[in-house]
Amino acid sequence: MSAPRLVLVLGDQLGEGVAALRAADPARDLVVMAEVAEEATYAPHHPRKIAFVLAAMRKFAARLRGQGWRVAYTQLDDPDNSGSITGELLRRAEEFGAGAVIATEPGEWRLIHALDEVPLTARQIPDDRFLCANARFADWAAGRKSRRMEHFYRVMRRETGFLMDGDAPAGGKWNFDHDNRKPARDDLLRAGPLRHAPDAVTREVIDLVAGRFADHFGDLDDFWFATDRDGALAALDHFIAHGLPEFGAYQDAMLQSDGFLNHAVIGLYLNAGLLGAREVCEAAESAYRSGRVPINSAEGFIRQILGWREFMRGTYFLEGPDYTARNELGHEAPLPPLYWGAPTRMNCLSQVVGQTRREAYAHHIQRLMVTGNFALLAGVDPAAVHEWYLAVYADAYEWVEAPNVIGMSQFADGGAVGSKPYVSSGAYIDRMSDYCKSCDYRVRDRTGPRACPFNLLYWDFLDRHRDRFARNPRMAQIYRNWERMDPQRRATILSEAAALRARLAAGEVV
Ligand code: FAD
Ligand code: DLZ
Ligand code: SF4
């Protein structure tokens, strides 16, 4: 019999249909899965994320064995563990006399390059779990002056047929965002995400992670994520029944008492491979077709997956390995310690960072308009912002995190993802949340000792980057407002903002 090949299955490739498994032969080949320190520490991942990935890996390995695969599985505390994916491939190659590796292409350049360099014959097969292949995205992007998600999304709607009535978009419009801007009310009942009690396998992993990564930012108690496909499917069903009907209306809202609102909390399951993008979109469309959810919710939700998620993946691979080093605005300030839990008087940041520490989760607007907005306004080095987001969220993998952070949130790619930077003063946060009511700062104060820092830094940011943005048609009105302001007031804003940035840079509590 010919020598076995090693079939690499990474911690975010946990589906039976993954390309490497389809290309392999269970009678001949050996699946390699490895819990390794390098993957837990290339960014200091939240312990909840590490526990989720490792527990899901253990259960997936058991499932593969049940289907007849031979699996060489390395646990984190195995004394022979080499500590890296390539180290484990080499160790298993020697142990089993294998010379070839079959891998599904990883979602990160770092690992793609590491596999290219492993001294074995390693074949990396395109990861076809996505609705738009990288080659298709490159084809769509070719020759365009600018790439915008909304254009891409319409192409995807047509190509996949999701929410189409013949040639026309269901409901008569491509995008129902206009109906999706309501602030949330505290007294509305929401089911929240489905919570799963950890079983024995998960509990063992939690103990291991708690002992090994106690120095990483993030809580591990009351762990409730699903860690297998059945649990992830139950979470999806729960969301479709209870969250999706009102998903659209409250998509942008933020509430101090509820960090989840009607969000699906399935990003971690999708990205790890426990759920597929197609089945999630199908579930949402079928709820719409059967009259269980309105079009603004179904469309708003499907756009996130068919539009944004695929657009971000295409962007990551099209932009290439240097994307995470981009810094078009030349921002160099250090990430303020408040991001790692140091005290802050800004209630919005304290709430979002606190929730992130507890849950390894924040929803899109919290990530974009609170933590992301503040880092951009404060001129933080985008590489440091990128490392933070990659570490702290359970759904963070570089292919999706980097275009969201370097591109959408920090504008460090100069506009490859968005046409203008997502910056706002405190007024936006006040309109969409209840954070400002319990803040030391006053959201209506533009200057003075209690002026909301977002207000000061907002004008300061626009002023600093006037050359780049003043001619952007979507920002012209804002610049006109700034020019019309009393010169004395403008000078006060700029000097107070400079003092604030100096205090942030010195690590003072702000
Ligand atoms: P929902 O709001 O319920 O949306 C449903 C699904 O749509 C998500 O699960 C996700 O798969 C997809 N989706 C929504 N928005 C986006 C988007 N902008 N890009 C890609 N997919 C999207 N998403 C990640 O999966 N991983 C990340 O590391 C990540 N980092 C982000 C960083 C920043 C600064 C910002 C602004 C957004 C980031 N996002 C990231 C996108 C989005 O915030 C999360 O996908 C979402 O909050 C996950 O929670 P959910 O499952 O409840 O999503
Ligand atoms: C995120 C993660 C973690 C924490 N641990 C492992 C691991 O021990 N073994 C593994 O195969 N994968 C892990 N992962 C997921 C990888 O980091 C992920 O495959 C790459 O970042 C590419 O997306
Ligand atoms: Fe945040 Fe400003 Fe509102 Fe305070 S007043 S919660 S700092 S936006």
Give the mutation target among 351, 353, 429 for probing the ligand 3 site: most ligand atoms within 8 A of CB: 429
For the segment 16-61, what is each residue's pLDDT rounded down to a tens digit? Answer: 999 999 999 999 999 999 999 999 999 999 999 999 999 999 999 9
Q: Is the CB of 428 under 6 A from ligand 3?
A: no
101, β-bridge pairs: 6, 122
pLDDT of amino acid 214: 95
Confirm or reject: Cβ of 426 under 6 Å from ligand 3: yes
Tokens of 296: 């603004």
Q: Which residues line ligand 2 (CB under 6 A)?
A: 10-12, 34-36, 39-40, 45, 50, 53, 85, 106-108, 111, 397
Confidence of residue 239 (pLDDT cuts 50, 70, 90): very high
**Which range has the worst mean pLDDT, 130-144, 175-189, 380-394?**
175-189
**Nearest atom in ligand 3 to 440's CA:** 4
| Ligand nearest the Cα atom of residue 402 | 1
Ligand 2 site-directed mutation target among 8, 10, 274, most atoms within 8 Å of CB: 10
User: Could you give the CA distance from residue 297 to residue 309 in angstroms, rounded to a whole number?
Assistant: 17
Give the model confidence (pLDDT) of 473-492 as tens digits: 999 999 999 999 999 999 99
Q: Give the distance (Å) from ligand 3 centre to CA of residue 228.
A: 39
pLDDT score recorded for residue 185: 73
Residue 187: its pLDDT value, please?
Answer: 65
What pLDDT is recorded for position 2? 80
Measured between alpha carbons, how far is 163 from 169 in angstroms, rounded to an integer?
Answer: 6
Reported as half-sphere exposure (CB side, CA atoms, 13 A), residue 502 has a value of 6
Which domains are assigned to the chain? 6-125 (3.40.50.620), 134-190+225-319 (1.25.40.80), 337-505 (1.10.579.10)
| Residue 272 Cα: closest atom of ligand 2 | 15
Compute the distance from residue 40 Cα to the ligand 2 centre, in Å: 7
| Per-residue model confidence (pLDDT) at position 33 | 98
Q: Is the CB of 416 inside a 6 Å radius of any atom of ligand 1?
A: no
CA dist., res. 62 & res. 201, Å (int): 11
Residue tagged 């989760």 (tokens): 361
Q: Give the mean model confidence (pLDDT) for residues 396-408.
A: 98
One DSSP character per residue, 398-451 reads: HHHHHIIIIIIIT-TTSSSS-SS-----HHHHHHHBSSGGG-SSBTT-SSSTTB
Judged by its nearest atom, the ligand closest to the C-alpha of residue 44 is 2
Residue 99 CA to residue 216 CA, distance in Å, equals: 37
pLDDT digits (tens, 9 = 90+) for 186-221: 766 688 999 999 999 999 999 999 999 999 999 999
Ligand 1 centroid from CA 269, angstroms: 12
